Amino acid sequence: MFDAFNSPITLHYRPRNRNTYITITHEGEVCVRTPFKDMKRVRTLLKEREGWIRSKLTLIRSSQPLQQYSLGESIRFRGEIFPLSHFPALSAKIQQCNNPINIEKYYFDFYKKEAQLTIPSRVSYYARKMGLAPDEIIFKRMRRRWGSCDSRRRVTFNTLMMQLTYEQIDYIIVHELAHLKHMNHSKLFHALVGEYLPEHKKVRAELRAIRPLGH
């Protein structure tokens, strides 16, 4: 009916409805519930909501679980999936190991080392821009959060951040640095984050849908 979204569209005729309602399922299906039988009118409604529909579909497609790679064969790194051969040292360790638990440990160690190499320079960059520097940076794997900041001005980053895109990594860094000034999620806090990351709302929505999961 309207293939501009590259997603299935399901039309539900609801003669008792006063309005047309458009929803997006978690599987990326566009569902239209409408009292109108006139397809031209339905197409017009879809066209009018095209921006909203596309933004929702983009969010859903970018929020798939992080374990879309095959353990021991590929790896998710900085928002992309690479064959394990892209990282020879890690690949060599895993090829010599048949224990899934040890293989996972190699992945976790890899992410921690990469986080320790990558994140401090990004923290320094934004710390200079924002005038907010933590007293200590801690790296560890966390199951539920991407980062945290405490009253001692210690910022902790989840080493699984290295699975994310650069844009998402930067958001987490700015988010935690902003907590050095606002230990809450007030309007002032979000305004501070938005001052340095104009796309912060989009990225925050992505990260809410992506949880730190397994390997």
Q: Is 44 within a domain?
A: yes
Whether 93 and 127 map to the same domain: the answer is: yes
Predicted TM-score (pTM) of the model is: 0.69
What's the pLDDT tens digit per position in 36-52? Answer: 888 888 888 888 888 88
Q: Is 103 within a domain?
A: yes
Least confident of 19-33, 87-101, 152-166: 19-33
- What values do phi and psi take at 16, rounded to 5? -85, -15
What's the pLDDT tens digit per position in 2-42? Answer: 555 666 788 888 888 888 888 887 667 788 888 888 888 88
Whether 86 and 134 map to the same domain: the answer is: yes
Whether 89 and 194 map to the same domain: the answer is: yes
Whether residue 108 is predicted with pLDDT greater than 90 in this model: the reply is yes
Q: Is 89 within a domain?
A: yes
Report the 10 Å Cβ neighbour count for 10.
12
Number of domains in the chain: 2
Report the 10 Å Cβ neighbour count for 75.
24
Q: Is 67 within a domain?
A: no
Whether residue 215 is predicted with pLDDT greater than 50 in this model: the reply is no
pLDDT score of 212:
65
Q: How confident is the model at residue 171 (pLDDT cuts 50, 70, 90)?
A: very high
The span from the CA of 59 to the CA of 173, in Å, is: 21
Q: Three-state DSSP class for 28?
A: coil
Cβ contact 56:31 at 8 Å: no
pLDDT score of 60:
64
Whether 138 and 162 map to the same domain: the answer is: yes
What's the pLDDT tens digit per position in 110-149? Answer: 999 999 999 999 999 999 999 999 999 999 998 889 999 9
Whether residue 162 is predicted with pLDDT greater than 90 in this model: the reply is yes
Q: Is 114 within a domain?
A: yes
Q: How confident is the model at residue 208 (pLDDT cuts 50, 70, 90)?
A: confident
Q: How confident is the model at residue 59 (pLDDT cuts 50, 70, 90)?
A: low
Whether 99 and 176 map to the same domain: the answer is: yes
What average pLDDT does this structure show over 149-167? 94
Q: How far is CA 56 from CA 30, 65, 210, in A?
A: 10, 16, 15
Q: How confident is the model at residue 98 (pLDDT cuts 50, 70, 90)?
A: confident
Whether 89 and 155 map to the same domain: the answer is: yes
In sequence order, which residues have a C-beta less than 8 Å from that of residue 84 and are 6 or more positions away? 72, 73, 74, 75, 90, 91, 94
Domain interval for residue 147:
74-209
Whether residue 214 is predicted with pLDDT greater than 50 in this model: the reply is no
Whether 56 and 85 map to the same domain: the answer is: no
Query: CATH code at 192?
Result: 3.30.2010.10
Whether 86 and 185 map to the same domain: the answer is: yes
Q: Is 69 within a domain?
A: no
